[in-house]
Amino acid sequence: MVLAGCAPAEGCRGWSTTLTVSVEGPGSGSVADVRLCSGDVCSRPEAITPDGAPTYPLARDEDGGWVFEVGTEPPDEATVTVADRSGEVLIEREQPLSWRLLGEPEGPECGWRAQSRTLVIAVPEPRGSVFGTR
């Protein structure tokens, strides 16, 4: 039996785009957690979700930013949530995201790659705080 088929000679190498969220301003010392959601995909502190739901893996960089791996198809907008150590939400906002496309680094069948970017969020002084931290 002879089988014939058609497929690209090489598989597409993977890549991933990241979104780094950094916080600044008088309330930045109160920030303990940043979360990112777009559609049904949200960041979670666990690397592997027990229910198998899609997630944005999260890491911290050397400057204290929250680095979200948004994969090969980064979202056009996301909800960014900034919380303090007790879990109280300090800021939650819908954030449009624009991505600079870098081309098709692995060939025309492997899709466009977006340049990783940083989003800076200004955090105001926490309400009722004399010292600016909780």
Give 133's strand partners.
none
Q: Decide if pLDDT at 22 tops 90.
A: yes
Buried b / exposed e along 12-24 (16+ C-beta atoms within 10 A): eeeeebbbbbbbe
pTM of the model: 0.77
- The whole-chain average pLDDT of the chain stands at 81
pLDDT for res 48? 55
Over the stretch 89-123, which tens digit does the pLDDT of each residue have?
999 999 999 999 887 666 666 667 788 999 999 99
Domains of the chain: 17-122 (2.60.40)
For 1-134, strand residue ranges (E) read: 17-24, 31-38, 41-43, 55-56, 58-60, 66-71, 77-84, 89-96, 101-103, 113-114, 117-122
d(CA 29, CA 64): 11
Residue 36 pLDDT level (bands cut at 50, 70, 90): very high
